[in-house]
Amino acid sequence: MPRAKPVVLLVEPIHPKYAKLLERRCRVVRPKGFTEDQLAESAREADGILIRTKGCVSARIIAAAPRLKVVARHGVGLDHIDLEAATRAGVRVVYTPAGSLTAVAEHTWMMILALAKKACTGDRAVRTADYEARSRGENLQLEDQVLGILGLGRIGGRVAQIGRFGFGMKVLYTDLIRYGRKERRLGANKVPLAQLLVKSDVFSIHVPLTDLTRGMIGAREIARMKPGALLINCARGAVLDTRAAARALEEGRLGGAGVDVFDPEVPPLDHPLLKCANAILSPHNAAQTAEARLNYAAVALDLLRVLDGKAPFYPAN
Which positions are catalytic? 236, 265, 284
Q: What DSSP state is assigned to residue 132?
A: G
CA atoms in the 13 A half-sphere facing the CB of 175: 25
CA distance 168 to 263: 33
**Distance from the Cα of residue 85 to its chain's centroid:** 23
**Rounded (10°) CA dihedral 91, 96, 151, 176:** 30
Tell me if 246 sits within 8 A of 271, measured CB to CB.
yes
CA distance 189 to 210: 24
Long-range contacts at 163-166 (CB < 8 A, ≥ 24 apart): 163/109, 163/202, 164/188
Distances (CA, A) of 190 to 39, 75, 185: 43, 27, 13
CA distance 12 to 53: 8
- In b/e form, how buried is each residue of 118-154, taking b as 16+ CB within 10 angstroms? beebeeebeeeeeeeeeeeeeebebeebbbbbbbbbb
For residue 205, which of 169, 143, 258, 267 has the smallest C-alpha distance?
A: 258
- In b/e form, how buried is each residue of 280-302, taking b as 16+ CB within 10 angstroms? bbeebebbebeebbebbbbbbbb
Can you give the C-alpha Rg of the chain in angstroms?
22
Tell me if 152 sits within 8 A of 179, measured CB to CB.
yes
